A and B are shown apart, each in its own frame.
Chain A
């Protein structure tokens, strides 16, 4: 089956720093989503980005489907950005199945 790999597995930064999280996938996918899992366990949709670039405030994401990777950029990090960031790729014909990466645990220190 498809492999989804995220890097780095852990990232510790000071408040105000910028970061780039990467998601590589091993096969063609229908779509890709980025999620933030906050310290309370809730999954929050960040981006739905099958290709191209999207921006939402301090966050932006780029997916290059032909090269099978996606990047999530976080600028001017805040402590509330802490948590685990997951990318999930959508596979399957007609049915929507998400395959998740292992996540990047981001810790922002004040």
Chain B
């Protein structure tokens, strides 16, 4: 298994541009989520999904959209990038809901100028 994969690894955007961060998992996990990590801090939850077609907001959802059309993929969209969205983005997945271990992808480092 490849586990949780994320693309791209690095990205530079100009303010106002849009882009999609890709996340895929091949472990048949129902739960997927997106976190951001700012310098010197722990991760904060952006959005999560409990299964295909079902998404919900986390702690810091503003400026981000998600959708879950398949079990495997959970893309994160930035509609109009802002410098405050400069961060490292991690995708995670787990087999089920509460009580299951989460596995993280390698991260995408995003810089917005």
Contacts and interface: CB of A to CB of B under 8 A. Distances in A.
B44 interface: yes
B42 A95 contact: no
Interface in A87-110: 88, 90, 92-103
A25 interface: no
B11 to A, nearest CB: 15
Contacts of A48: 101
Contacts of A30: 98-99
Chain B interface bracket (under 10, 10 to 19, 20 to 34, 35 or more): 20 to 34
B16 to A, nearest CB: 27
B104 interface: yes
Contacts of A31: 98-99
Interface of B: 31, 33, 35, 40-45, 48, 50, 56, 58-59, 88, 90, 92, 94, 96-104, 106-107, 109
